[in-house]
Amino acid sequence: MAELVLTDERRGELLALLDDEQRLQVEHPKLAEYLAAAPSLRGTGDDQMDAAFDLRFIHYMADGTSTSANPYWEIVKPLVFEHEGRRVVNGGRPSGSVRLAYAETILQSVYAYAIPSSETVKWAAGFCAGRPLLELGAGRGYWAAQLSRSGMSVDAYDIDPPDAADNASFTRSPGQRSTWHPVGDLHAFEATDRDWSNTVLFLCWPPGWGNKMASEALARFERAGGRRLLFVGEPKGGKTGDDAFFEALSAGWDLAAEDAQFVSWWNVRDVAQGWVRR
């Protein structure tokens, strides 16, 4: 895969930023956090690969808005390898690296928990087949932005939209966008009329650990006549969704499609699935 090539102007901008520690801390604290910790953390063992990753990380985190519509994917794409039948971000190492795991936590906070590769965005659009998409628990709306760019009609909502409320998972930080797509709150969601039978419900990494958000959202969708679900997250027993959600899927839904090209971080087991109500 081709390495990132910077113009002389862009390289000069980044060097000026990195040479001014105070400015870096003020304007890009998330980036400063990573750069302070990374040298002491074990990498993949491939110094060239690690250096190329750091360059992409710095470039897109310092100006991801104007340089790419999907900086998350641009940052991790060269580190995707096949492992045990899955496409994972591990830098070619089955156990990844400590440094990559640290970068993962930052990228998930800045963008989204799951990785919207270009292949998965295309797959999701195909499953929806022109139907409008309703995302609940949208976080920063990063997935909503990618799906919208593919031509889909997307409405996104979150109990705590990061640009308007304190969101523990997606905190506001200088130098990073609070949202990538308009994200309404629950009041806006309740005030919206829609044809539920023709709408696809999208749940991307709904909270787990006993949180009932996923099962309650699915139950309401069912009562309203909804029939198609796009789910990105871990299977039952993982970090996403509650048991009642997965039990409801087993009882009343059929798995109609699964993205074989989906990309995960090596240390999670998330999938992208399309479900249709029986």
21-50 confidence digits (pLDDT tens): 999 999 999 999 999 999 999 999 999 999
Q: What is the pLDDT of residue 4?
A: 86
Among the three residues 65, 86, 110, which one is the final residue of a domain in this structure?
Answer: 110
Give the pLDDT mean for 259-271: 98
Task: Give residue for tokens 């499953």.
Answer: 127
Among the three residues 110, 126, 154, which one is the final residue of a domain in this structure?
Answer: 110
Cα 50 to Cα 14, 18, 76, 111, 271, distances in angstroms: 18, 18, 11, 21, 26
Q: How confident is the model at residue 1 (pLDDT cuts 50, 70, 90)?
A: low
**Same-domain check for residues 105 and 131:** no
Specify which residues 203 forms β-bridges with.
Answer: 231
pLDDT at 64 over 60: no
How much is the pTM? Answer: 0.96
**Same-domain check for residues 39 and 128:** no
**Same-domain check for residues 166 and 48:** no
In a domain, 3, yes or no: no
- Report the number of distinct structural domains present in the chain: 2
**Same-domain check for residues 240 and 158:** yes
136-252-133 Cα angle (round to 5): 30
Q: What is the pLDDT of residue 9?
A: 92
**Same-domain check for residues 238 and 183:** yes
**Same-domain check for residues 39 and 163:** no
Q: What is the pLDDT of residue 66?
A: 62
Give the pLDDT mean for 140-165: 97
Q: What is the pLDDT of residue 101?
A: 97
pLDDT at 153 over 90: yes
**Same-domain check for residues 88 and 142:** no
Among the three residues 52, 85, 110, which one is the final residue of a domain in this structure?
Answer: 110
Supply the range of the domain harboring residue 61. 8-110
Pairwise CA distance, residues 165 & 167, whole Å: 6
CATH code of 161's domain: 3.40.50.150
**Same-domain check for residues 61 and 27:** yes
In a domain, 135, yes or no: yes
